[in-house]
């Protein structure tokens, strides 16, 4: 791929974030996090090794694990990870990076081993971050990779990892979206189906997110690749206990989507999305909240080659 093509993709990925950073957007992010945790029952995939440190009565190991979350949003994943590692007696320094920290907690509320720092992941990686991390975590970048090509981002992440370092990446695969009903009758939710069909019918969105379906076959992850090894490719459906949260995420996301379209001058399309989403939401409540659009949750765990 040419340098110009890479630069064009980088510009698209940086400048076209379609959602918001306000209180409703933060609430949506918290709901999304809870859906993942309640459905998968882990913050970090069990395949990722984390060694507990010696008891406090013994000499601690001098080099804590270096861990970072990319695209930290509200920081909830980072904060919970810091707490989890502390209870497991795992010594770590944790960094939360995002283009904007407007949704992040203020410094007095950070755990002592945690730092929130602005970072544009599509910029050249600062020298002090190259080969720094034992573990990187990220989630929900399908709305950030506007170019539809994750290669540049993957290369950036691999540059930040130490040889032998681990990467956990999680996305929703919207190509698997389907309508579920508590009554088992899809036809009883025509408005919600219309909303699902609307989102599925956006060609640009489908092209932008198609990589999720085949990311596990990416050339950089092939067995012959010198770059990285694919350790895990897991797919799970949402736990029914959090179907209501999935409903709320969909309708909050529709509000953000239409608002951003208005901001870009696409008023007619914004009005169409608002109308279809409003009708679907009303139908959902009228039917006792017994319908939901669900899709597969995908987890990839990679390991950078070159370690022992």
DSSP assignments along 77-104, one per residue = HHHHHHHHHHHTT--EEEEEEES--TTS
Domain count, the chain: 1
Distance (Å, rounded) from C-alpha 192 to C-alpha 286?
12
Which residues, other chains included, contact 134 with Cβ-Cβ below 8 Å and sequence gap of 6+? 65, 66, 67, 161, 162, 165, 166
Tokens encoding 140: 């929900």
How far is Cα 175 from Cα 193, in angstroms, rounded to an integer?
Answer: 15
Does any domain span residue 99? yes
Rg (CA), the chain: 20
Tens-binned pLDDT, residue by residue, of the chain (308 aa): 444 444 444 444 445 566 788 899 999 999 999 999 999 999 999 999 987 655 555 555 568 999 999 999 999 999 999 999 999 999 999 999 999 999 999 999 999 999 999 999 999 999 999 999 999 999 999 988 988 999 999 999 999 999 999 999 999 999 999 999 898 755 588 999 999 988 877 667 788 899 999 999 999 999 889 999 999 999 999 999 999 999 999 999 999 989 988 888 999 999 999 999 999 999 999 999 999 999 999 999 999 998 66
pLDDT score recorded for residue 61: 58
User: In Å, how far are 82, 92, 139, 141 from 58, measured between CA atoms?
Assistant: 22, 17, 36, 41
The answer to whether position 221 is within a domain reads yes
The answer to whether 153 and 212 have CB atoms below 8 angstroms apart is: no
Domain assignment present for 289: no
81 located within any domain: yes
User: What H or E segment, with its residue span, contains residue 117?
Assistant: strand 114-118
Report yes or no on 16 lying in a domain.
Answer: yes
Query: Which structural domain, as residue segments, surrounds residue 153?
Result: 3-174+208-238+296-304
State residue 2's pLDDT score: 46
Question: What order of strands is seen across the sheet that includes strand 133-139?
Answer: 114-118, 92-98, 65-70, 133-139, 161-181, 291-304, 228-236
- Predicted TM-score of the model (pTM): 0.90
Among 141, 167, 132, 140, CA closest to 44: 167
CATH code, domain carrying 105: 3.40.50.150
In a domain, residue 96? The reply is: yes
* The pairing of beta strand 133-139 with beta strand 161-181: parallel
Q: Is residue 77 part of a domain?
A: yes
Cα separation, 33 vs 27, in Å, equals 10
Torsion of CA 100, 101, 102, 105, to 10 degrees: 170
- The pLDDT of residue 17 is 65
Inside any domain, residue 290: no
Q: Tokens 């695209």: give the residue.
A: 71
């Amino acid at each position: 791929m040419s340098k110009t093509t890479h630069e064009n993709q980088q510009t698209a990925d940086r400048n076209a974030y379609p959602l918001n950073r306000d209180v409703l957007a933060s609430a949506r992010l918290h709901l999304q996090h809870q859906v993942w945790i309640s459905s998968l029952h882990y913050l970090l995939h069990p395949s990722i090794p984390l060694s507990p440190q010696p008891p406090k009565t013994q000499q601690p190991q001098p080099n804590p694990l270096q861990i970072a979350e990319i695209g930290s949003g509200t920081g909830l994943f980072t904060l919970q990870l810091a707490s989890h590692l502390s209870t497991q007696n795992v010594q770590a320094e944790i960094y939360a990076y995002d283009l904007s920290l407007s949704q992040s907690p203020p410094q007095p509320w950070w755990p002592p081993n945690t730092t929130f720092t602005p970072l544009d992941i599509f910029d050249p990686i600062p020298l002090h971050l190259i080969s720094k991390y034992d573990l990187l975590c990220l989630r929900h970048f399908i709305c950030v990779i506007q170019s539809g090509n994750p290669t540049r981002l993957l290369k950036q992440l691999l540059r930040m990892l130490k040889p032998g370092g681990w990467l956990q990446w999680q996305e929703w695969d919207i190509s698997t979206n389907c309508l579920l009903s508590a009554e088992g009758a899809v036809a009883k939710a025509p408005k919600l189906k219309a909303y699902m069909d609307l989102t599925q019918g956006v060609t640009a969105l489908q092209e932008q997110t198609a990589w999720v379906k085949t990311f596990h076959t990416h050339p950089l992850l092939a067995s012959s690749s010198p770059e990285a090894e694919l350790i895990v490719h897991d797919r799970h459906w949402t736990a029914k206990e959090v179907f209501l949260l999935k409903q709320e995420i969909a309708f909050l996301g529709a509000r953000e989507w239409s608002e951003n379209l208005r901001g870009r001058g696409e008023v007619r399309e914004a009005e169409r999305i608002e109308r279809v989403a409003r009708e679907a939401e009303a139908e959902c409540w009228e039917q006792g909240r017994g319908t939901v659009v669900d899709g597969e949750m995908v987890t990839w765990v990679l390991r950078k080659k070159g370690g022992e």
